[in-house]
Amino acid sequence: MFWIAEAEGAPLFDALTIVLSKVFDKIYKLVYYIIKQDIKNIPPRRYPMRKVTLFIAMSLDGYIADRNGSVDWLAGQEPDYDDMESYHEFIKDIDTVVMGWNTYHQVATDLSPDEWIYRGLTTHVVTHRTMVSTEEIKFTKEDVCSLVTALKQEDGKGIWICGGANIIQPLIRENRIDRYHISVIPTILGSGLPLFPRTASPVGAPADGEIKLKCIKTQLYNGITDLIYEPR
Ligand SMILES: NC(=O)c1ccc[n+]([C@@H]2O[C@H](COP(=O)([O-])OP(=O)(O)OC[C@H]3O[C@@H](n4cnc5c(N)ncnc54)[C@H](OP(=O)(O)O)[C@@H]3O)[C@@H](O)[C@H]2O)c1
């Protein structure tokens, strides 16, 4: 080989250079092709579906408001304890709230008339009324199940179904709740607004609207028991 190179001189060296550059070119193209294929195969970034959580407080006998619609019994057993502990933890993963008109009206006029308590979150209020929406509070006549389905398609953090009973029922019936976070308050009210109203099915009829759940977590603080479930 050395001998041929010497005999043929520079033209052979040029030929060798051309051959080598073609080989390198081929290797370059092959590597480029492999990387390109790999890039093509990387799945596009997907946001995990937003979780829809019913986070609500309930008396031991199953009511979310007393017979007058009041929630002033929502407290643990010791008056000086911070009962909001689990709420603060929960709200970190939430940016959207869904509530019915009655709940909105009670919060805005009775529970906290001077300050909107869900500042920094987007609240959707379901009502048949025509109201002027703001960036933070959006009034909608949309069916609550369609609203929640649409919100789930958007990017964002979790969706909190705040209440009340009226907007919760269709969401449970249509199985749109991904997580049930029920805080059981150590109080028996005797009457009020039930979280799970009785269905009209006659005794002995096949189970109607049964939703099997699995327990994710329980926690106890100040006599309040948080029961956290997801559909099985
Ligand atoms: N324990 C808790 O943690 C908790 C949490 C939240 C609420 N609550 C209690 O729950 C009570 C309120 O519950 P609620 O069942 O009476 O009322 P709600 O669910 O808060 O609101 C019901 C109202 O929402 C509107 N609405 C419902 N479905 C609609 C639809 N498909 N399209 C358009 N608008 C619709 C209607 O208002 P329009 O008449 O304006 O159309 C309806 O009267 C309050 O006493 C509150 O204190 C308790």
User: How remote is the CA of residue 129 from the centroid of ligand 1, in Å?
Assistant: 13
- Tell me the residue ranges of DSSP E strands in 108-209: 122-126, 137-140, 158-163, 179-185, 193-194
- On whether the CB atoms of residues 66 and 192 are closer than 8 A, the answer is yes
- On whether the CB atoms of residues 96 and 151 are closer than 8 A, the answer is yes
**What is the structure's pLDDT at 222?**
96
User: How remote is the CA of residue 20 from the centroid of ligand 1, in Å?
Assistant: 78
Span of 19-33, 103-117, 124-138, 181-195 with lowest mean pLDDT: 19-33
Residues touching ligand 1 (Cβ under 6 Å) are: 56-57, 64-65, 69, 71, 99-103, 106, 126-129, 141, 143-144, 162-167, 193
pLDDT of 154 higher than 90: yes
Pairing of strands 224-231, 213-221: antiparallel
* pLDDT tens for each residue of 72-103: 999 999 998 988 989 999 999 999 999 999 99
**What is the structure's pLDDT at 6?**
46
pLDDT of 11 higher than 90: no
- Cα distance between residue 92 and residue 157, in whole Å: 9
* pLDDT tens for each residue of 26-74: 776 766 666 565 555 555 445 568 999 999 999 999 999 999 999 999 9
